[in-house]
Structure 1
């Protein structure tokens, strides 16, 4: 295959041009490049590391945003279709702009609870720095009406004289992604005299910059003119517009407010209020200690839980008692959309009073979004699950990604968390939980299956609305067609990433294993590409020590396993360490045998990849049996080792497969040796698996289950070579012709004619 190459003069002065890598190689989530040294000790700049990666890869999975680099080889970026953030950023802002342009309601892009819902919050740190925890997206004060502002970035309590410059138009500013109607104030010094009022943007220009501010009508001031800590609430005005408060200049004075936020500086639109105070010289200004929004998603302790509501009509809640009950829960209010007579996603006092569903207490529709509390990423996460069946969402996301993929020079994007949808792994409902758009309980099998199908259909359509992009998915290690697999993703994308898929001690069967890797051949038959990532987990490095020899042997074994079932036009290889943290920064003694080497350079078995085996021969030598192909099935009873075919066939068959059969690209891998003892039918206890290529042969010895530290020391097996062949060492050197080789446990070996 052809590998795209380009070299800077600087790169050429310090590195020798490598041989063309024979196998497709993918680099996963590059970034954080830094100065390091190659395996020979030669120093490399960060730029030279980037150059090396580009010249030693055929695909970048999870590309950086440097267009000039990414356009030289295929690259995919990152996307997350099943959620948008409540704390909106550039993505949400642009999606919303597209929705407005086409007259589509942005709030329809989300799932919403029909009723007040209580769900567990396993990790209370998730979302703690966001609106989910009542914190403004941005809060600060100004020296005058056009000042960029002083941001209150430190955790409260503060002692901020936010109205110090009131005579010059200085004020307190609060930003939210959605409309809100209440703010809680705490003061380090109470006001004595003076008065305050709150303003909102009521008009904007063509660039969505504020041109007019109007007074909010305050209906309840429990601070009593900022003389005590309490809330202020107001009537939500119909002309409150989402606006930008800065002109994009980045100037500290004269351009408006952005409080150090690049998002606001560059035109990001939010709902904002400014709080102003006026007084005489004899009056005492209030000083601010804390400000937070209404508690839209209250925390509920165990002792405050209401009586458990197990069922809703015919629908069952997903909550079940556990020995390890969580310490806290969250309440998400339901929204009665039938009461929203003017369809503005807000229930006025009259609408709220007259609503028919008294079990739904949200005033704003956004307050009822389906949010997986405690099951997101980190303290800055604020996920709102999207309504993937909404055609407007598809249109908006398709438009957004199409523009940005072109701008970034990438060929598409991948979704990293295909398991984080609506299942019980994300939602444990204590009470309520009915989702308006699905008519199912969050966390239930019914909701999970419906949402999975919508997720898959959304990705398929995303491919159609753009110019055949690469739509990538991070999928599990289980066979997609089996009972443990993600069958709904079979046709969802055209580029699949199998993370930590190949172990140096990969077995023949079990949860995964070589007999179940045939779904990659089925994906290849359909035209999809598969990245198979190797890991050092359960390898010599883990079992016997982090040294050079063990690393090289693990790399050799995983590459041999890959070659046994890869397809030249459809398969990509990636070698990583035992962890899940990616990047191009340097190795340490914890994750490689040598510190200070750029990770992708350290982990790629370049000398072995340079060995040209040619294309698979597509034949099994006479007298040898093809590998048995297996599947975990449900019928007629659960079975982990159902035989569905072998590696010489172009189809596998079983009643649980779509239409009873699946077409695939045969690998013609075969048993070069197999023990007389079998664990199950078609599954030897000990075996050497081989595959023929144009210029050689690949061998790998394994046992049935794999991952067995003792098997590494199993007695070696002698394999006769007729005709004689040349073995390749772990460092890529080609040896002399031999007529016999010894193969140890979990050993991979490349032989050349």
Structure 2
């Protein structure tokens, strides 16, 4: 009876949905593979293609896809989307949307959020991507010479008969240039098909100003200085364009010829506003730009607000007369596009984004169609939406003045605005799911616990199928954070899946970057930590270095102890994953459950509920804890049992205590006989105890009892 009873306990497996996977005990994932290199320091691979083929066969799900339609269709390839933004400088997606909106009779401007009043934002670290707007960079410059087209690269000497066509992705009312004289200007006319019908001469009011060394305009004026030609001492010609009738954008086709020299956006259907410049005599054109309307000064960005009431004749432009008589003096935008929301308070380096609006149903339909088109084109099963915690809250908009939104009855940078926007985003993503029939809509939420993040409404949580927990696990994670990390089990209870990323950040490899053992111990610890959260069929493992830069290229001495080997190949502990440790089981008799903590509420990790939130049981237990009676000890060793293995992790309560990485190893008794699984998949000697250093985890394989068959029922 003793053997039978122990067998029943060992065989009481947790009930999980069946799911085919590459490795026996868990799923595996890649995050943004790509940029494959030919290996330089291993004979395991001969070519770049060998690396790519290996990756395709060693993960169950791939975030970002494999950049190969056929390979993507043979796996679960989840693409990348950022549905709440469009680039300030239009790319392929914006061009496609622009074209489809035009064909559907939808105003593309309805796809953007706008400020209803002049707004001042704090910008501590301005992104260079904003130069497109701050410097008034043309979208494209085309040189027409002898009826041939080429890209106009300034500075440029123009002959009589030459023409330069400036393409703008937004309507404009002024140009600035540095040249020998003022040009003749014509703007495009648009025919009923949306193409260029011809060119209409524009009346221009020209003025001159000196461009001296002390001029504040010099640092922001793109032109010949970047080509080694100084603009000092030259004059800026400013041309204010007469705007009598509505000026419509057009596709770059004129007299059955495409007005383009390789610009991707123009090739993919972007409609633009075009200005043709020509000089009667030989002229040196040193610089040319659209006069900027945005102002960045002392780390503050001023964005003008738009009020339709100020545009009294409804032509889309507030003229000088209308501006002087405008009923709303708190809104100074001349065009509606000038009031678009730019999350300038917190943008990625090198980017410039507009915040998308989800108010207009017709535009939402066009927008959702883009994802169906794009996923079919790439062979994707779905996509993951990045930065889902960055919407309209203060983490994106630090408002000093103004901030009132046109599309919502709130101000940017507030929780109310972010919450309402999140509900609209949820409705839009539900539309995308219905249109694409995907069950793999994902979101990157990193360490955020959605039950603690008030901005996220239930609707947005419910629409997501798969969660990316970027850099969720680190070697020095600490006990307190582990004991508060119950949300993965709540997401799984709701039927959601998670990709959980283990990072080496803050581990032994930072103390000894040239040590192979330090790197391997960090990766072993990462897998051990992951196995604490593993729910077969619901979770996927990804192992990475200390950075947020992903890809499949070779290692350097900054991210591995040896350079020239494929990153994913060394970061994924393939040998360890191939060892079958079974599935998670109950806490063994005689051991106390680790306690979850949720804002003062407590529950055992074997429980199925905390604070009225349903959970899947985790069944973590203590092998050691200082004091032995406290639920949240200063130091401890936690464990989780599998049907064929065990995982353990030693830590102190606090995270990232570097001194604890150097702590003296502690001998810990084990609930049975086990072998340690090493980084390469080899097994250590059978043992009934293990020595663990500070912030160290280990994955163990159970030594089978001879002539004993373990049976039991799942639940």
Q: Give the TM-score taking structure 2 as reference length.
A: 0.86
Equivalent-residue separation in structure 2 for 1:355 and 1:25 (angstroms): 60
Quick one: which of 684, 693, 700 aligns to 2:642? 693
Equivalent-residue separation in structure 2 for 1:452 and 1:647 (angstroms): 31
Kept after mapping to 1: 8 A contact 2:26/2:535: no
| Structure 2: tracts of 5 or more residues without a match | 1-18, 210-233, 704-715
Equivalent-residue separation in structure 1 for 2:618 and 2:671 (angstroms): 22
Residue in 2 that maps onto 1:622: 589
Residue in 1 that maps onto 2:171: 179
Quick one: which of 317, 328, 339 aligns to 1:346? 317
Residue in 2 that maps onto 1:467: 437
Correspondence 1:265-280 to 2 at 5 A: 265-277=267-279, 279=280
Deviation at 1:151, TM superposition (A): 2.3
Paired residues, number: 659
Deviation at 1:578, TM superposition (A): 0.8
Residue in 1 that maps onto 2:14: none
Quick one: which of 662, 670, 676 aligns to 2:621? 670
Kept after mapping to 1: 8 A contact 2:195/2:250: no
Equivalent-residue separation in structure 2 for 1:438 and 1:345 (angstroms): 21
Equivalent-residue separation in structure 1 for 2:189 and 2:208 (angstroms): 23
Correspondence 1:70-469 to 2 at 5 A: 70-145=72-147, 147-152=148-153, 158=155, 160-162=156-158, 164=159, 166=161, 170-187=162-179, 189-190=180-181, 196-203=184-191, 205=193, 208-210=194-196, 212-218=197-203, 220-222=205-207, 229-235=237-243, 237-238=245-246, 240-245=248-253, 255-277=257-279, 279=280, 284-300=281-297, 327-340=298-311, 343-348=314-319, 351-373=322-344, 375-379=346-350, 381-469=351-439
Equivalent-residue separation in structure 2 for 1:718 and 1:196 (angstroms): 85
- Measured against aligned partners, the alpha-carbon deviations of 1:609-648 in whole angstroms (never above 9, x if no partner) come to 111112222x1111222221112x3xxxxxxxx2332221
1:605 aligned onto 2:602: no
Q: 1:197 to 1:702 in 2, by over 3 A?
A: closer
Equivalent-residue separation in structure 2 for 1:102 and 1:258 (angstroms): 24
Quick one: which of 494, 504, 510 aligns to 1:536? 504
Q: 1:236 to 1:539 in 2, by over 3 A?
A: farther
1:684 aligned onto 2:633: yes
Residue in 1 that maps onto 2:68: 66
- Measured against aligned partners, the alpha-carbon deviations of 1:636-683 in whole angstroms (never above 9, x if no partner) come to xxxxxx233222111111xxxxxxx111211212123323266xx511
Residue in 2 that maps onto 1:740: 689
- Measured against aligned partners, the alpha-carbon deviations of 1:458-494 in whole angstroms (never above 9, x if no partner) come to 3344333430342222113143323699676533422
Residue in 1 that maps onto 2:478: 507
Deviation at 1:104, TM superposition (A): 2.6
Please say which of residues 622-631 and 230-239 is displaced more in the overlay: 230-239
Deviation at 1:200, TM superposition (A): 0.7
Cα root mean square deviation, aligned: 2.8
- Measured against aligned partners, the alpha-carbon deviations of 1:347-370 in whole angstroms (never above 9, x if no partner) come to 355654553112212111001111
1:643 aligned onto 2:601: yes
Q: 1:478 to 1:485 in 2, by over 3 A?
A: farther
Q: 1:241 to 1:685 in 2, by over 3 A?
A: closer
Q: 1:267 to 1:424 in 2, by over 3 A?
A: closer
Deviation at 1:263, TM superposition (A): 2.9
Quick one: which of 19, 31, 35 aligns to 1:32? 35
Equivalent-residue separation in structure 1 for 2:168 and 2:617 (angstroms): 56
Q: Secondary structure at the match of 2:648?
A: strand
Q: Secondary structure at the match of 2:525?
A: helix
Equivalent-residue separation in structure 2 for 1:458 and 1:535 (angstroms): 33
Q: 1:468 to 1:437 in 2, by over 3 A?
A: same
Equivalent-residue separation in structure 2 for 1:587 and 1:426 (angstroms): 33
Kept after mapping to 1: 8 A contact 2:419/2:456: no
Q: 1:104 to 1:265 in 2, by over 3 A?
A: closer
Equivalent-residue separation in structure 1 for 2:437 and 2:315 (angstroms): 36
Equivalent-residue separation in structure 1 for 2:687 and 2:518 (angstroms): 24
Kept after mapping to 1: 8 A contact 2:468/2:498: yes
Residue in 1 that maps onto 2:222: none
Kept after mapping to 2: 8 A contact 1:614/1:695: yes
Residue in 1 that maps onto 2:465: 494
Equivalent-residue separation in structure 1 for 2:314 and 2:46 (angstroms): 60
1:2 aligned onto 2:20: yes
Q: 1:86 to 1:723 in 2, by over 3 A?
A: closer
Deviation at 1:407, TM superposition (A): 1.1
Kept after mapping to 2: 8 A contact 1:115/1:433: yes
Deviation at 1:21, TM superposition (A): 5.8
Equivalent-residue separation in structure 2 for 1:64 and 1:138 (angstroms): 32
Equivalent-residue separation in structure 2 for 1:360 and 1:709 (angstroms): 53
Residue in 2 that maps onto 1:303: none
